[in-house]
A and B are shown apart, each in its own frame.
Chain A
């Protein structure tokens, strides 16, 4: 998705201190891809990347930490 391994502090800042919901995850994903530029065949990628990040965040929210790890 990126030229180099990419950290999105924009997405992190959009979430820190807020409840993690589908709506806030969406906002983080929009922030993460705000600087995207496409070149034709890869025009689909920002939307795919946004949906990937939303799903990753919601999946991480539902991880159950067992007592041994909590």
Chain B
């Protein structure tokens, strides 16, 4: 691992100021935020992410890890741990697709560490991205090409790709969030804003090293899932090579509002 400086954010304002160099999650961004660390530390050890500075958001955790369900929907603090949300009674009863997407992800140890905010920003598992001994990877080294297109691409994406990158988004929780039309609260140098979760991740657009629409210094503080007749009749189905601790080959988050057998409204 390369040397880096480590700093703890004193609060939200401080985090956004210290994080101005985060860019939009580019691999070569000089500054990276640290939450649960389950992706960042892994990729730093692999020499894929090489930040000069790491800003630890841990001190924000206590104020932004609440789980609240009421008539206005479900609000999840971005620093809530995956395991705490997956076993919360209100999530299990009212939003099973959310609970299942978290419960079926990773391992118990990872779910106990990983935060929701970090989870949605998890990087692809493309083996060419994760191994810097491959020169060609437009996501890791912009303009270098894509080793996966003519390589071993058994678990690469089939939707939303272009000829610059065919890597697969690895997360499960985010699939449930887009189906349920979640909103996301952010805090940045210009203050707070709310945006549709579906607009967070960008298409490759021939510049796959830019992965999100986050602005420099923005921290995810919460997710909000609006209420709807479909949230209770919902599930997450994950198909993979082994029964646990494995990424999806295919998965689906579905939520249905039915009138008898007739679909009033589907979320897929």
Contacts and interface: CB of A to CB of B under 8 A. Distances in A.
B233 A42 contact: no
Nearest to A43: B158
Interface string B200-213: 01111000000000
Interface in A10-49: 11-12, 15-21, 24, 28, 32-33, 35-42, 45-46, 48-49
B157 A19 contact: no
A41 B94 CA distance: 39
B266 A61 contact: no
17 contacts: A1-B251, A2-B158, A2-B168, A3-B168, A5-B169, A5-B198, A16-B265, A20-B261, A21-B261, A28-B268, A56-B252, A57-B254, A59-B235, A60-B233, A60-B256, A61-B258, A69-B94
A60 B235 CA distance: 6
Nearest to A63: B233
A21 B261 CA distance: 8
Given A15-B268, A20-B261, 4 more contacts: A3-B159, A3-B160, A19-B261, A53-B254
Interface string B219-246: 0000000000000111111010000000
B74 to A, nearest CB: 14
Given A7-B179, A15-B266, A16-B266, A37 B161 contact: yes
B159 A17 contact: no
Interface of B is mostly: mixed
Closest 8 CB pairs of A and B: A4-B201, A3-B160, A2-B159, A5-B174, A56-B252, A56-B237, A41-B154, A36-B158
A39 B166 contact: yes
Nearest to A3: B160
What size tier do the contact residues of chain B reach? 35 or more
Given A5-B201, A56-B254, A11 B268 contact: yes
Contacts, number: 156
A1 B236 CA distance: 14
B263 A15 contact: yes
A68 B203 CA distance: 41
Given A4-B201, A7-B268, A52-B237, A69 B93 contact: yes
A6 B168 contact: no
B158 A37 contact: yes
Contacts of A8: 268
Contacts of B39: none
A10 to B, nearest CB: 9
A60 B167 CA distance: 29
A5 B250 contact: no
B146 to A, nearest CB: 10
B61 interface: no
Most buried by A among B248, B251, B265: B251
